[in-house]
Amino acid sequence: MKNPFEKMPTVLTADELIDKAFRRAEKAASALTPKGGPRAKAREREELRVRTVSNVVRDNLRKLLDRTPGVSELPEFYRELVDTLVDRDQFHRSLGRVNWAIKTIRELEKRHVEKIRYLRDPAEIAKVRRSFYGRVADVIKSIADDLEYLNQARNVLKDLPVVDLELPTVVIAGHPNVGKSTLLRALTNAKPEVASYPFTTKGINVGQFEEHHLKYQVIDTPGLLDRPLSERNEVERQAILALKHLGKVIVYIFDPSEYCGYPIEEQIHLFEEIHREFGEFPFIVVLNKVDIADEEKIKAIEEFVMAKGLEPLRISALNGEGLDELKRRVVELVKPMVEEQARKIMERELRKYREEE
């Protein structure tokens, strides 16, 4: 999957668009060597101007519409993120007004060209063309705010993260410095990609691994799932909750060595919050840095985790200890979900097929 707004073009301001269209029309007109008497010449030149202005404006706006996906048709993950960044109603309204401008200018073009063909006096013909210019400028100016809004929206939407929505995805959570990015690098062989993400400064890291011919995606979310949700504002929360449409499994990392700088009580508090918020997901809880952590502290966290009905796993992202087991658990949890999904899709297709028969 690509960023759905990747192809959205920069949006010219109303003034820039008017300028561009009129300049192109003048250029076309001056390149023309019309034949015939003064009337035929005036008709040909002015019709060319009208058509050029109309084409330039409509092509430009049409391209904008064609390359901008409707938010409602996007996958849920993107829909929710878009909602954190732009006002969906305003966005659609502005696209609707652009569409209106295209149609209106097309109509104006037809009417004015008809008049030009019918008039006899070159001065009158020029007047009709000027009136057309005025009308087009008015239409474009009337959508000036919409164009500006769409351009602002484009500037934020082009930075939406690029993630593969088809792949089963593991989302890593835990305080800063517990070893999330080290784990991501250790689990996935390729160099992780960094995708931008709303309301994070560092973006999210995305990597993949393959197991029994199935691909899995692992996402590390610096700045997102590393601080209590209760400290976030509403839009940040929404951007974080959008991850729900992405993840299949959460891997929560504790750092029993406390070298990360967060005492165990604080790590437990964050775990409780994320566990509550993402309760519908299976959790795999890992205790990282077991190569340097005190056994006592490891045990304390393990007891807490087991009391939650979960089975903690000791790992060292740095030296690789426990990582095979971690992969095995991910696959064990995710595979049935993927198969279940595949089964549902197949059943749905079969049903459609039978209904068609």
Q: Between 83 and 258, whose beta carbon lies closer to ligand GDP?
A: 258
Contact pick of 161, 179, 192, 312 for ligand GDP (by CB under 6 A): 179
**Cβ atoms of 249 and 286 closer than 8 Å:** no
Tell the smallest beta-carbon distance from residue 255 to ligand GDP (Å): 8
**Is 33 exposed, middle or buried, given 0-12, 13-18 or 19+ CB atoms closer than 10 A?**
exposed
Tell the smallest beta-carbon distance from residue 317 to ligand GDP (Å): 4
CA dist 28 and 23 (Å) reads 9
Tell me which stretch binds ligand GDP (CB under 6 A): 33-41, 57-65, 125-133, 180-188: 180-188
CA dist 247 and 165 (Å) reads 9
Sheet holding 249-254, edge to edge: 193-195, 204-211, 214-220, 169-173, 249-254, 283-287, 313-314
Name, in order, each residue with C-beta under 8 angstroms of 86's C-beta and a sequence gap of 6 or more.
153, 156, 157
The backbone region for 212, taken as left when phi is positive above 0, alpha when psi lies in -120 to 50, beta otherwise, is: left
CA dist 247 and 283 (Å) reads 11
Tell the smallest beta-carbon distance from residue 295 to ligand GDP (Å): 15
Residues 120-159 that bind ligand GDP (CB under 6 A): none
| 289 near ligand GDP, rule: CB under 6 A | yes
| 221 near ligand GDP, rule: CB under 6 A | no
- For residue 224, give the nearest of 208, 209, 207, 246 by alpha carbon: 246
| 176 near ligand GDP, rule: CB under 6 A | yes
CA dist 200 and 159 (Å) reads 11
**Cβ atoms of 97 and 14 closer than 8 Å:** no
| 310 near ligand GDP, rule: CB under 6 A | no
Residues 229-288 that bind ligand GDP (CB under 6 A): 288
| 182 near ligand GDP, rule: CB under 6 A | yes
CA dist 98 and 146 (Å) reads 8
Tell the smallest beta-carbon distance from residue 330 to ligand GDP (Å): 18
Contact pick of 142, 177, 208, 238 for ligand GDP (by CB under 6 A): 177
Tell me which stretch binds ligand GDP (CB under 6 A): 65-73, 101-109, 179-187, 261-269: 179-187
| 55 near ligand GDP, rule: CB under 6 A | no
Q: Between 154 and 314, whose beta carbon lies closer to ligand GDP?
A: 314
Contact pick of 160, 287, 317, 331 for ligand GDP (by CB under 6 A): 317
Point out which residues bind ligand GDP (CB under 6 A): 176-182, 288-289, 291-292, 316-318
